[in-house]
Structure 1
Amino acid sequence: MRNRESLIRLHKFQVDERRRKVAEIELLLTEFRNKERELEAQVLDEQEKAGISDEAHFAYPMFAKSVQKRRANILQSITDLEVQLGAAQDELTAAFRELKKYELMEESRKRKIQKQTQRMEQAELDEIALQIHRRS
């Protein structure tokens, strides 16, 4: 019995760890998306100041070029994080299913023990009732 409880606790811990991992990745994604929007705004602002929006133009601002490279790197990081998020969510789902499996097994075992206890108590009560009936 102790072993089953430990197993359930272990799986709860694993589910919690995976939830934390998913939450961390989602937080990073949010931060990266916010940063990407800021960089996009900076590029547009710089293009507006220079009056040049064509990247191939010889006078295109170097700051805008560097910001666009940073933005491209962040977009790649966002894509990578989205893949990681999908994998982490799959791991969380698998861990949760495993936990539920053990919890249901334990619940089933407890119900079985309860039914056996009720049967034994009922058998004792029946025996007492028979003895009372025989005496009278």
Structure 2
Amino acid sequence: MTKGIDGMIRLHKWQLDEKRRQLTELETMRDDLLARKEDLAKQLVAEQEKVASSQVVNISYASFATAVAQRQENLMGSLAEIEASIEEMKDQVSESFKELKKYEVVEQRERERQMAKENRRQQADLDELAIQMHRRNKMRAS
């Protein structure tokens, strides 16, 4: 029985590790998108300052600002999707962890049963030895 449980534990540990790896990848992607969003905001501010300090009206600023706004909107959509994926993956990690714990508890209980069985066997052997020694002492005394 323990070989089957050992295999299930290994399988569930692998699945849990895989889900944790996927969660880490999603979080890395989210962090990258947040950094890109921040960079876009900085670029927009820098361009606004450049246009504000110039006396010549920069026609290209309008198209730049529109493009930045579109990119920010796209990033926000991507961030929302990744956040949803992260939450779903966290649920999957939690569920995988619970499954792993079930098998580990079963394994621990089986070990405890085996240990109790071994202790009972050893105690029975010691009891038998004590009975034999008591009989020998009784026979010698008679």
Structure 1 residue aligned with 2:4: 3
Structure 2 residue aligned with 1:130: 131
* Structure 1 runs (4+) greater than 2 angstroms displaced: 58-61
Structure 2 residue aligned with 1:121: 122
Partner Cα distance (2:61, 2:92) in 1: 46
What are structure 1's unaligned runs of at least 5 residues? 52-57
What are structure 2's unaligned runs of at least 5 residues? 53-58, 138-142
How far 1:130 sits from its partner (Å)? 1.0
How far 1:124 sits from its partner (Å)? 0.5
Q: Once the two structures are superposed, what CA deviation does each residue of 1:86-129 show, in whole Å capped at 9, x if it has no partner?
A: 00000000000000000010110111110010011011001101
Structure 2 residue aligned with 1:75: 76
Structure 2 residue aligned with 1:15: 16
The alignment's C-alpha RMSD in Å is: 1.6
Partner Cα distance (1:60, 1:12) in 2: 54
Q: Which amino acid aligns with 2:66?
A: K
Partner Cα distance (1:47, 1:65) in 2: 13
| Percent of paired sites with the same residue | 35
How far 1:61 sits from its partner (Å)? 2.3
Q: Which amino acid aligns with 1:116?
A: K
TM-score by length of 1: 0.91
Structure 2 residue aligned with 1:42: 43
Structure 2 residue aligned with 1:54: none
Q: Which amino acid aligns with 1:67?
A: V
- Ranked by relative contact order (alpha carbons within 8 Å, sequence separation 6 or more), the top structure is 2
Q: What is the aligned length?
A: 131
Partner Cα distance (2:60, 2:83) in 1: 36
Structure 2 residue aligned with 1:61: 62
Q: Which amino acid aligns with 1:64?
A: A
Partner Cα distance (2:120, 2:65) in 1: 80
CA contact (8 A) 1:47 1:61 kept: no
CA contact (8 A) 1:29 1:78 kept: yes
Partner Cα distance (2:17, 2:60) in 1: 53
Partner Cα distance (1:135, 1:29) in 2: 80
CA contact (8 A) 2:20 2:93 kept: yes
| Pair member with larger Rg | 2
TM-score by length of 2: 0.87
